[in-house]
Chains A and B, each alone.
Chain A
Amino acid sequence: METKMRGADIVIRSLIAEQAELIFGYPGGAIMPVYDALYDYQDQIKHVLTRHEQGAIHAAQGYARISGKVGVCLATSGPGATNLITGLADAQIDSTPLVCITGQVAAHLLGTDAFQETDVMGISMPATKWNFQVRRAADIAPAIAKGFFIARSGRPGAVLIDITKNAQVELGEFNYQPCQEFRSYKTHYPIADTSILQAAALLNGAERPYLLFGQGVILGKAEAELKFFLDKSGIPAASTLLGSGALSQEHPNYVGKLGMHGNYAPNLLTNQCDVLVAVGMRFDDRVTGDLSRYAKQAKVIHLELDPSEINKNVKADVAVLGDCKESLAKLTEAIAAKKHEAWMAKFRALEQQENEAVVQHDLKPTKVGLTMGEAIHHINRYKADDAVLVTDVGQHQMIAWRYFNYKKTRTQVTSGGLGTMGFALPAALGAQLHDYSRQVVCVVGDGGIQMTIQELGTIMQTKAPVKIVLLNNNYLGMVRQWQQMFFDKRYSFTELDNPNFILLAEAYGIKAKKVSDRADLAEAVEDMFIHDGPFFLEVVVEKEDNVFPMIATGCSVEEVRLN
């Protein structure tokens, strides 16, 4: 049965039809009819008013990453829409499903430089998987249906739907039809049996096989398939930044993390394996270092859903195109059960070297100043197995990633591909609002937190019990580290005079504590977890500490440095 209603009502009814329960946004002139409609549906769909549109979109990203659902946000035209762009680019590069709805000036004003008009279609095009402008009420529901389908299917991504104000106030038919397919868009690739056979033959003959897994495993819900594959194959496995959590770190085959600040053995031994299996990862330059010296000795098997990622950075000897949930299961059947003890022992021996050279320094420092690693170590002691770690970008991100004990899938939210400072605080809020009962720990630096610190206001208003751990070194630490290592210690504009963060948090009604002595750290972390509600823990850390291991830009993975 078809019914006529205002376009604005169609927007909300369509979101409800797509099972959106929680949306993030910020009102303004060109989206006001939608906000007016939202007023009538508050019992069916919750809306969180952030303090900035960037906060809204990062919150939607945090929500999407933890829930596995499509994150939704609303913004007005012009500046409202342009404030979403960083989040769109971030979600798109990290394959996070998002649908953003922006208001737009009335259709007859398009292109005239009307008040708060911006060409958001043009601006958002390179940062979205798909965008679409709706100018008639009748087109709203089909566009939203298509948008949700595109955002969550295939390799997920960011969608923007721009709706002119006239379309929001005019009447249109509403008869919601979910989108399941359309001819120009392919979401499923049947796994080619020949590729499975070729991959299995390579693996069965391999002496030093090595598996790298990325976020594709999480997005494809293939965690169990990955585990079964590793159990049977006996292959050592390392994680990318965004893949962390897809496999419990306690799994016997788990050997560590890849990339510029990953672990020693996983990077170094990339150039010693004979068969490299990459699952749901895209050989980002932060993982590969110098491509011309990356795993040249190895036959490469690439399990990947996105055809444009195959052979993009690393040539695959066997490409297995398709959903890794299916391909991993098929490959597990096709391979022989094996153990690779001698090869695994190489990883463990190098791990020992890393422990002595780096981990000791980070977790059992002899200096007076606290290290970032110590803070993460104490978080591990008190956190639940399914606690979510949300990080910003910089030294604290790499240290938290290195030392956080990942046991469950969907426990990590960070800005990987884009490296967006200011991401963590709103993303943690979004992750927490998906599930109030789950521990969400937001580890953030003193630089990044100040890029979106206004979202403390949203935490106050929603009472989201986010545990914020500020690792404060009064520096833009990662940039400072590079200045120390590659720019002759010329610390150009990286030192910060910071506000009194404790007073600031307290001004937002958030319980806060500052720790600078080692003796107080454990108790403070424990208090933070015990406290019922949001908590702000500032840990004053060593000003000039560095993150190691490190593969410097332009170096090969085997040139990974321990100091």
Chain B
Amino acid sequence: MKRYTIFVITENFIGILNRITIIFTRRGINIDALTASESRIPGVHRITIEVTVTEETVIQLVNQIEKIIDVIKAFHHEDTGVVYQELALYKIPVSRLDGGLEKIIRDHHAKIIAAEPDFVVLELTGHKEKTRELLEILKGYGILEFARSGRVAVAKRMLTIDSFVN
């Protein structure tokens, strides 16, 4: 089993995400993370799915996703084939702050994006390993909430989605 990123280029129609997730559900495969956004072409969406499966399975998943009528193109890459990023938010109670936090923020290149009377919110972008590492440290600060986005990614291959859309 390996971690794969599946890219789905799709028409922006109602229900398309449901059709895609059904393919995973039928096979009893858990989606590790999923993000959906507009692409740079109006009306075309891109969905990025992170999944841990065998190569054989990922190929079958991609074939079945691409078979969906409103899917324009689907393909997959291993982690080495993509540039990807995730974003994490950490909510820390003000009551637990001490002088140590500054160093942590500097060392991790995190930033404070909100400061309220009762809490501050840190933001860190980076791979899962990095955001998880900071989470472990911030547990010592009584972290109130932690949220991490799914992966957003672009392929290293020099192909643009225009070649699929047209």
Bound complex: CA A312 to CA B26 (Å): 15
Interface check B19, CB cutoff 8 A: yes
- Known interface pairs A125-B22, A133-B14. Does A183 touch B67 (Cβ–Cβ under 8 Å)? no
- Known interface pairs A183-B165, A184-B11. Does A307 touch B67 (Cβ–Cβ under 8 Å)? yes
| B18 CB contact (under 8 Å) in A125, A133, A185, A311 | A125
Interface check A563, CB cutoff 8 A: no
Whether B26 and A185, one on each chain, are in contact in the complex, defined by CB atoms closer than 8 angstroms, is: no
Q: A277-318: which have CB < 8 Å to B? A: 306-308, 310-312
Interface residues on A, range: 10 to 19
Across the interface, which residues of A come within 8 angstroms of B59, CB to CB?
Answer: 311
Whether A150 and B69, one on each chain, are in contact in the complex, defined by CB atoms closer than 8 angstroms, is: yes
Whether A125 and B69, one on each chain, are in contact in the complex, defined by CB atoms closer than 8 angstroms, is: no
Interface check B66, CB cutoff 8 A: yes
Whether A184 and B71, one on each chain, are in contact in the complex, defined by CB atoms closer than 8 angstroms, is: yes
Bound complex: CA A130 to CA B67 (Å): 10
**In the complex, how many angstroms separate the beta carbon of B16 from the nearest chain A beta carbon?**
10
Interface check B60, CB cutoff 8 A: yes
Give per-residue flags for A304-340: 1 if the beta carbon is below 8 A from chain B beta carbons, else 0: 0011101110000000000000000000000000000
- Known interface pairs A126-B26, A308-B63. Does A183 touch B15 (Cβ–Cβ under 8 Å)? no
Give per-residue flags for B126-166: 1 if the beta carbon is below 8 A from chain A beta carbons, else 0: 00000000000000000000000000000000000000011
Interface check A111, CB cutoff 8 A: no
Interface check A6, CB cutoff 8 A: no
Give per-residue flags for B69-93: 1 if the beta carbon is below 8 A from chain A beta carbons, else 0: 1111000000000000000000000
Interface residues on B, range: 20 to 34
Bound complex: CA A310 to CA B22 (Å): 20
Whether B63 and A184, one on each chain, are in contact in the complex, defined by CB atoms closer than 8 angstroms, is: no
Interface check A129, CB cutoff 8 A: yes
Bound complex: CA A129 to CA B70 (Å): 10
Whether A185 and B69, one on each chain, are in contact in the complex, defined by CB atoms closer than 8 angstroms, is: yes
Interface check B10, CB cutoff 8 A: yes
Whether B10 and A307, one on each chain, are in contact in the complex, defined by CB atoms closer than 8 angstroms, is: no
Bound complex: CA A32 to CA B72 (Å): 36
Bound complex: CA A122 to CA B22 (Å): 10
| A307 CB contact (under 8 Å) in B14, B66, B166 | B66
Whether A184 and B67, one on each chain, are in contact in the complex, defined by CB atoms closer than 8 angstroms, is: no
Bound complex: CA A125 to CA B15 (Å): 9
Bound complex: CA A122 to CA B66 (Å): 20
Bound complex: CA A121 to CA B13 (Å): 13
The residue in chain A whose Cβ has the minimal distance to the Cβ of B65 is: A308
Interface check B64, CB cutoff 8 A: yes
Given A130-B69, A131-B15, A308-B66, 13 other A-B residues pairs in contact with their CB atoms under 8 A: A121-B15, A125-B15, A125-B18, A129-B69, A130-B70, A150-B69, A184-B10, A184-B11, A184-B71, A307-B63, A307-B66, A307-B67, A308-B67
Give B residues with C-beta under 8 Å from A.
Answer: 10-11, 14-15, 18-19, 22, 26, 59-60, 63-64, 66-67, 69-72, 165-166
The 10 closest A-B pairs by CB, nearest first: A308-B63, A130-B69, A184-B72, A308-B67, A308-B64, A126-B22, A184-B70, A185-B69, A184-B11, A307-B63
In the assembled complex, 25 residue pairs joining A and B whose CB atoms fall closer than 8 Å, in A order, are: A121-B15, A122-B18, A125-B18, A130-B69, A130-B70, A131-B15, A133-B14, A183-B72, A183-B165, A183-B166, A184-B10, A184-B11, A184-B69, A184-B70, A184-B71, A184-B72, A185-B70, A307-B63, A307-B66, A307-B67, A308-B60, A308-B66, A311-B59, A312-B60, A312-B63
